[in-house]
Structure 1
């Protein structure tokens, strides 16, 4: 008699097969992290289908390739344990930091449109992007999407508005443009917060 398919077990088995070149302890840690992430996501979002949760995690081959690359660079060992034997925290910065830095820069520019407000915001935005890209809480696809929606597109919209003569002090049109950009950045930050690996 054929047993019903277990998508989670199949997914984890696929990751394990793809990551067979990893040391056994690192491979087991990777599988445990993925299983925990799946469990937490299902608890936080009970209406999400298991296929959607697994799709958000990414392709098993990509996950294994990333883990193999990290292990090859020696970063895997450094990220999994400290010198005293205790497990290290995932990521150097709390995931909320870049998610707050990106939209708050836009709010700051709306409040302080004159120099040096925009320059300070640009530096904060770059820092937020760096924190986002170096975090262990998101997949490469999620990081790329986050950078595009929370930094690149807003910067392009604001630059276009400034070059077209509107500028930050153009009144209602500039204010509405800034509000739309702020909404895009805040929405992206909320999506990244929900999609993060715990």
Structure 2
């Protein structure tokens, strides 16, 4: 890659060239994700040289090949003859599904504290997190934040509460903690719904 005054622009242009056969919306989504990753990395590690940040991302040809491979597995068609592009499919699972699974996992455990309630609650949480992570409706940062707040944090709090006193705690303090955790999960799910890509 040639060196120029703006290596980030050159890098993104190289990715765009290599991914020219992707549908335009998917290509722009890929470039936006890369630009966001570069910006976040630069703000978190301001002393790191931009060349090192770009090297960590990988070769533009490899990134484009991966994106093309993923697009093929999702059923996104390459441009048709004559330069018109086939419509891109945004994913098979509606974005509301993982959010509902994550948001409802905690109330399910609270309402049905005896088995199989907790089992189904954990199953909802795991499947919801997987669907969120594999969705095309959020960026990597949004997915990570969503999984941490809606799945990991409640699991850690519940496990800590159950192990600290030798078993599940009861009473007003536990109820308030559960309601606070429920409000946090619901707020995170609402935020994810608001920032999703349509």
What TM-score, normalized to structure 1? 0.69
Residues 128-174 of structure 1: CA distance to partner in whole angstroms, max 9, x if unpaired? 01100110111111111111111111100010111112754512121
User: What is the match of residue 71 of structure 2?
Assistant: 76
**Structure 1 contact 16–27 (Cα < 8 Å) conserved:** no
Distance in structure 1 (CA, Å) of the matches to 2:123 and 2:63? 29
User: What is the match of residue 132 of structure 1?
Assistant: 132
User: What is the match of residue 179 of structure 1?
Assistant: 179
**Structure 2 contact 137–196 (Cα < 8 Å) conserved:** yes
Distance in structure 1 (CA, Å) of the matches to 2:17 and 2:37? 16
User: What is the match of residue 87 of structure 1?
Assistant: 87
Distance in structure 1 (CA, Å) of the matches to 2:178 and 2:63? 37
5 Å-filtered alignment, 1:41-120, equals 58-59=36-37, 68-71=65-68, 74-79=69-74, 80-81=76-77, 87-120=87-120
Gaps of 5+ in 2: 1-7, 39-53, 79-84
Detail structure 1 runs of 4+ shifted over 6 Å in the superposition.
11-14
Q: What is the deviation of 1:102?
A: 0.5
The 1:161–1:67 alpha-carbon spacing in structure 2 relative to 1, beyond 3 Å, is farther
5 Å-filtered alignment, 1:142-153, equals 142-153=142-153
Gaps of 5+ in 1: 1-10, 36-53
1:30 has 2:26 as partner: yes
Higher relative contact order (CA 8 A, sep 6+): 1
What TM-score, normalized to structure 2? 0.69
* RMSD, aligned CA: 3.2
**Structure 1 contact 67–76 (Cα < 8 Å) conserved:** no
Distance in structure 2 (CA, Å) of the matches to 1:193 and 1:126? 19
**Structure 1 contact 19–68 (Cα < 8 Å) conserved:** no
